[in-house]
Amino acid sequence: MMKKYTCIIVDDDEIDRLTAVSYAKKFPVLDILGVFESAEEANPFLEKQKVDILFLDIDMPGLNGIEFRKQALEVPVCIFITAHPEHAVESFQIETLDFIVKPLKLDRFTQTISRIEEFMEIKLKASLFEASIGGDIIYIKEGHEQTKVKLHEILYLEALKDYTLVVTERKRHCVLSSIGNLLKEEHFRSFVRIHRSYAVQKQYVQKINSNEIVLNNEAIIPIGRSYKENLNLIA
């Protein structure tokens, strides 16, 4: 049976709202629970109904989409659909999965649906993971199976909301723990956080550029402005 995800659509522009509804109906994975002209209308609905996905306009009278999202952080996925690209940076600071600039096109909406399905799959798998740390080994549990990962083989860590991707040359594992919590562990002392979403293992750093780090496997990791001082820890 196909997994379905519940969603609501909030946009004060009737044409844009109807376009989003029309596209959403093309994907059986989406179950539209409500369509609203304003955040004020949608708020009471969210208080009574569990929703997986928000499709939100940003520039709306009264409560705008950014402020509405701040009040609805319990919803796992937020997709902004807006005519104002200047809000992109601000939106990603409040757990936004995707940011679509109007006019909404079907091919772009299709890409978003693929991202939603990938994110939800990772979220489901991560909820089945456990990490037990001992010595140079992490045991990552998925269901009844355990994968042994050697700490010195981990290239970098990537944050994904409350989860962390543990990346080796062979595989990407997902652990139900924030990157901040993992880095507090004594076993991760060789990792340096260089971005809000990334921490690299010092031994794999090949080159440091002004805005990015290149690892031995040629992976390129961005450097966050507030983490530039941490580069002094890489030697």
Radius of gyration of the chain (CA): 20
Checking if the pLDDT of 225 tops 80, the result is yes
218 lies in the same domain as 176 = yes
Terminal C-alpha separation, the chain: 52
**Do 5 and 53 form a contact (C-beta atoms < 8 A)?**
yes
**If you average pLDDT over every residue of the chain, what do you get?**
88
Compute the distance between CA of residue 201 and CA of residue 190 in angstroms, rounded to an integer: 6
Question: In the listed set 107, 125, 143, which residue is the last one of a domain according to the structure?
Answer: 125
Both tokens assigned to 78: 């937020």
227 and 209 in a single domain? The answer is yes
pTM (global) more than 0.75: no
Q: Which residue has the higher pLDDT, 36 or 95?
A: 36
Q: Are both 135 and 183 inside the same structural domain?
A: yes
* Number of continuous H segments (helices) and E segments (strands) in the chain: 6, 16
pLDDT, tens digit, 9 for 90 and up, residues 31-42:
999 999 999 999
Same-domain check for residues 208 and 120: no
| 137 and 52 housed in the same domain | no
Judgement on whether residues 64 and 158 belong to the same structural domain of the protein: no
Rounded Cα–Cα distance for residues 4 and 27 (Å): 10
Q: Which helix (H) or strand (E) holds 14?
A: helix 14-24
Total domains present in the chain: 2
Mean pLDDT lowest among 88-97, 162-171, 205-214: 88-97
Higher pLDDT, 133 or 217: 217
Same domain for 107 and 58: yes
Q: Based on the domain organization, do 227 and 204 belong to the same domain?
A: yes
pLDDT given at position 210: 86
- Please report the pLDDT score of residue 184 as a whole number: 84
| Domain with 83 in it | 5-125
Same domain? 31 vs 115: yes
The residue with greater pLDDT, 125 or 47, is: 47
| Nearest residue to 219 via CA among 204, 202, 230, 229 | 204
Residue 151 sits in the same domain as residue 209: yes
Among residues 93, 125, 157, which one ends one of the domains? 125
The pLDDT score that the predictor gives to residue 127 is 56
C-alpha dist (Å) from residue 147 to 58, 122, 138: 43, 16, 8
Torsion, CA 36, CA 39, CA 40, CA 43, rounded to 10: 90
Here the CATH number for the domain that contains residue 224 is 2.40.50.1020
Q: What is d(CA 193, CA 229) in angstroms, rounded to the nearest whole number?
A: 10
pLDDT value at position 130? 55
The residue among 142, 147, 139, 176 whose CA lies nearest residue 159 is 176
The amino acid sitting at 76 is P
Q: Is residue 128 predicted with pLDDT exceeding 60?
A: no
- Report the alpha-carbon distance of residue 225 to residue 38 in Å, rounded: 36
**The domain boundary residue, chosen from 125, 159, 190:** 125
Q: Are 94 and 188 members of one domain?
A: no
- Domain containing 33 — which CATH number? 3.40.50.2300
